[in-house]
């Protein structure tokens, strides 16, 4: 616990000021303190105290970056060895080389780009709708016990309905166009993001909330300066889950009824016994989910730089 009194007469040397100028943070330490700012400084120091120190870069970290490519190469080599020794036909298990060649053909004729673009539109539409509704409703549930008692039992019970069973109903109600696919994606990621939002908002220290109230902060100021930054790690964790689930939702909706998309490509390849094309579509889906996950991780590293202390 930081004693606010010790900061009243604190002064910074030029070196300390230069260090603070290079330290960008949502909770950057102010250079001067007022009577009210002393207590906010104590709150900011407490939030910083919860955060771990940033690991030092070194040879070990660089070695860890090489593990993923090495594992991938080992997997492809094992795959090639199994097909060669087992002498499996291409319609049962093609070799990685054959899958690569089929992917180049699909890329050259434009079919892979066409279906990938359709699936991406559905994924981004579902992310925009599902995230916005989940975060807003999660904040309301976290802040109001009445709203939680009214909606939480029904939201939990709705998760017993598989999305595969719900997707045909959405196609019947909203047609086989783009809207039904976006709704399936949004419903797939809705509940995990909702739970993470509730947990993140409720994990904010109650003493810090009382401190903001004592300083007569408005609800918007409390949300912007305290609740959102404190809950951001949990929210971004839910977003990582949501972006991968949205890809699953897009494929499920395309399985039910679609004439475009990577899910449709999988169905088409299955009907034609074109197993290499099926693998091409599956690997494309994996690449989309991985890229979205890495983008969220990059966003997390940018937004949560204030969590890391200088080593």
Residues 135 and 266 sit within 8 Å (Cβ to Cβ):
no
Q: Residue 253: give its domain's CATH number.
A: 1.10.3720.10
**145/37 same-domain check:** no
Instruction: State yes or no: pLDDT of 285 exceeds 80.
Output: yes
Q: What mean pLDDT comes out for the span 269-278? A: 90
**28/111 same-domain check:** no
Task: Give the integer Cα–Cα distance in Å for 47 and 108.
Answer: 53
212 domain-assigned: yes
Residues 184 and 167 sit within 8 Å (Cβ to Cβ):
yes
Instruction: Provide the CA 1 distance to its chain's centre, in angstroms.
Output: 33
**106/41 same-domain check:** no
Instruction: State yes or no: pLDDT of 23 exceeds 70.
Output: no
Reported confidence tier of residue 203, pLDDT bands at 50, 70, 90: confident
**43/173 same-domain check:** no
Calculate the CA dihedral of residues 126, 267, 288, 84 and round it to 10 degrees. Answer: 160
**273/126 same-domain check:** yes
Q: Is 77 exposed, middle or buried (0-12, 13-18, 19+ CB in 10 A)?
A: exposed
56 domain-assigned: no
pLDDT of residue 108: 92
82 domain-assigned: no
**23/162 same-domain check:** no
pLDDT of residue 61: 53
Instruction: State yes or no: pLDDT of 300 exceeds 50.
Output: yes
70 domain-assigned: no
Structural domain span for residue 28 = 1-49
Q: Is 287 exposed, middle or buried (0-12, 13-18, 19+ CB in 10 A)?
A: exposed
59 domain-assigned: no
Instruction: State yes or no: pLDDT of 62 exceeds 80.
Output: no
Instruction: State yes or no: pLDDT of 110 exceeds 70.
Output: yes
Instruction: State yes or no: pLDDT of 184 exceeds 70.
Output: yes
| Helical spans, DSSP H, in the chain | 14-21, 37-49, 59-65, 67-86, 96-108, 111-143, 145-158, 163-174, 178-202, 206-214, 219-222, 228-256, 262-271, 275-303
81 domain-assigned: no
Instruction: State yes or no: pLDDT of 159 exceeds 60.
Output: yes
**14/111 same-domain check:** no
**138/226 same-domain check:** yes
User: Count of domains in the chain?
Assistant: 2
Pick from 50-59, 114-123, 195-204, 249-258 the range whose average pLDDT is largest.
114-123
pLDDT of residue 212: 82
pLDDT of residue 4: 46
Residues 236 and 300 sit within 8 Å (Cβ to Cβ):
yes
Instruction: State yes or no: pLDDT of 1 exceeds 60.
Output: no
Reported confidence tier of residue 178, pLDDT bands at 50, 70, 90: confident
Q: Which of 237-241, 256-260, 283-287 has the lowest mean pLDDT?
A: 256-260
Instruction: State yes or no: pLDDT of 11 exceeds 60.
Output: no
**147/294 same-domain check:** yes
Instruction: State yes or no: pLDDT of 15 exceeds 90.
Output: no
Mean pLDDT of the chain: 80
Reported confidence tier of residue 8, pLDDT bands at 50, 70, 90: very low
Instruction: State yes or no: pLDDT of 284 exceeds 90.
Output: yes
Reported confidence tier of residue 176, pLDDT bands at 50, 70, 90: confident
Task: Give the integer Cα–Cα distance in Å for 121 and 117.
Answer: 6
Reported confidence tier of residue 72, pLDDT bands at 50, 70, 90: confident
**217/98 same-domain check:** yes
Instruction: State yes or no: pLDDT of 280 exceeds 70.
Output: yes
**246/157 same-domain check:** yes
188 domain-assigned: yes
**110/44 same-domain check:** no
pLDDT of residue 265: 92
pLDDT of residue 144: 87
40 domain-assigned: yes
Task: Give the integer Cα–Cα distance in Å for 177 and 184.
Answer: 12
Instruction: State yes or no: pLDDT of 55 exceeds 60.
Output: no
Q: What share of the chain has pLDDT > 70, as a percent?
A: 77
């Amino acid at each position: 616990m930081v004693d606010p009194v010790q900061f009243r007469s604190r002064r910074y040397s030029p070196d300390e000021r230069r260090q603070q100028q290079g330290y960008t943070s949502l909770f950057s330490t102010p250079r001067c303190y007022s009577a009210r700012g002393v207590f906010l400084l104590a709150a900011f120091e407490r939030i910083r105290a919860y955060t771990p120190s940033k690991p030092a870069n070194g040879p070990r970290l660089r070695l860890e970056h090489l593990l993923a490519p090495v594992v991938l190469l080992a997997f492809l080599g094992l795959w090639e060895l199994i097909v060669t020794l087992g002498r499996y036909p291409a319609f049962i298990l093609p070799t990685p080389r054959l899958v690569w060649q089929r992917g180049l053909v699909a890329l050259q004729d434009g079919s892979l780009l066409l279906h990938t673009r359709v699936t991406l539109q559905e994924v981004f539409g579902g992310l925009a709708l599902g995230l916005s509704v989940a975060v807003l409703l999660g904040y309301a549930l976290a802040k109001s016990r009445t709203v939680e008692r009214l909606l939480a039992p029904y939201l939990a019970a709705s998760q017993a309905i598989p999305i595969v069973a719900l997707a045909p109903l959405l196609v019947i109600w909203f047609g086989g166009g783009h809207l039904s696919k976006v709704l399936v994606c949004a419903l797939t990621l809705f509940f995990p993001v909702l739970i993470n939002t509730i947990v993140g908002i409720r994990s904010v220290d109650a003493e810090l909330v009382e401190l903001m109230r004592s300083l007569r902060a408005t609800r918007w100021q409390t949300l912007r300066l305290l609740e959102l930054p404190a809950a951001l790690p949990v929210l971004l964790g839910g977003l990582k889950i949501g972006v991968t689930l949205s890809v699953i939702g897009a494929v499920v909706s395309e399985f039910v009824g679609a004439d475009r998309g990577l899910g449709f490509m999988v169905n088409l390849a299955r009907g034609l016994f074109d197993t290499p094309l099926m693998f091409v579509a599956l690997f494309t889906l994996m690449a989309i989910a991985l890229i979205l996950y890495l983008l969220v991780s990059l966003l997390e590293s940018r937004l949560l730089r204030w969590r890391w202390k200088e080593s």
